[in-house]
Amino acid sequence: MQQSYEPTKQFEIAHLGQPILKMQAKLVGNILSDECQNLISEMMRTVELAGGVGIAAPQIFKSVRIFIMCSKPNARYPDAPLMQPTAIINPEIIEASIDKEKGWEGCLSVPSLRGLVPRHKKIKVQYYDQNGQKHQTIYTGFIARIFQHEMDHLDGLTFVDRVESVQDLVSESYWYEHFAPNA
């Protein structure tokens, strides 16, 4: 039975400590199935309503290898580049630069913290889109950071697992006051 959803409904987001965020997500078999397409729609709505730049299926309690990247300037990331919301299915990082860069990250599943997280500056990735088409592309900068952050969710990690020291964690309110681009 197919469910219908209110266009303004935001789905519950798993928070740090919930077991699903530590699980390895399963590969998606049939991308074109109603179940998969409905999940993608749920995720698109949820990330939009939550004001995020990405969301992974485990964050809405679905342990499958799907995430949405939807970079755009917003209150949480005012300098984010604009991109079309994109469903990323069964992703792989094929190559990653040796060079890494630390950058501030937040997470819908860790709403009260920000962390200074080292990420590869450049990655070559492969994934399937919502229509089942295979893509291979190179991401750099903030988009590469989003991809790596969301990919971590599929592997049972959050940005808190990636910080090099607890000294690299701050409260969200402190970050807005001292580190936000318009502080």
Instruction: Tokens 């200074």: give the residue.
Output: 116
CA–CA gap between residue 88 and residue 57 (Å, rounded)? 10
At 3 the pLDDT is: 39
Q: Is the pLDDT of residue 142 over 60?
A: yes
CA–CA gap between residue 35 and residue 38 (Å, rounded)? 5
Average pLDDT on 15-19 reads 95
At 10 the pLDDT is: 55
Question: Is the whole-model pTM more than 0.85?
Answer: yes
Residue 150 annotated as catalytic = yes
Average pLDDT on 133-153 reads 97
Mean pLDDT (the chain) is 91
At 183 the pLDDT is: 55
Average pLDDT on 146-159 reads 98
- Per residue in 104-139, pLDDT (tens digit) is 999 999 999 999 999 999 999 999 999 999 999 999
Rounded percentage of the chain residues whose pLDDT exceeds 90: 80
At 66 the pLDDT is: 98
- Per residue in 45-87, pLDDT (tens digit) is 999 888 889 999 999 999 999 999 999 887 777 788 999 999 9
More confident residue, 24 or 8: 24
CA proximity to 80, closest of 71, 92, 70: 71
Instruction: Tokens 């970050």: give the residue.
Output: 175
Q: Mention every residue, 6+ apart, whose C-beta is less than 8 A from residue 13.
A: 46, 50, 55, 59, 60, 108, 109
CA–CA gap between residue 119 and residue 37 (Å, rounded)? 30
Alpha-carbon distance values, 96 to 25, 92, 124 (Å): 21, 11, 6
Q: Please tell me which residue in 12, 42, 105, 150 is annotated as part of the active site.
A: 150
Cα 143–Cα 101–Cα 147 angle in degrees, nearest 5: 25
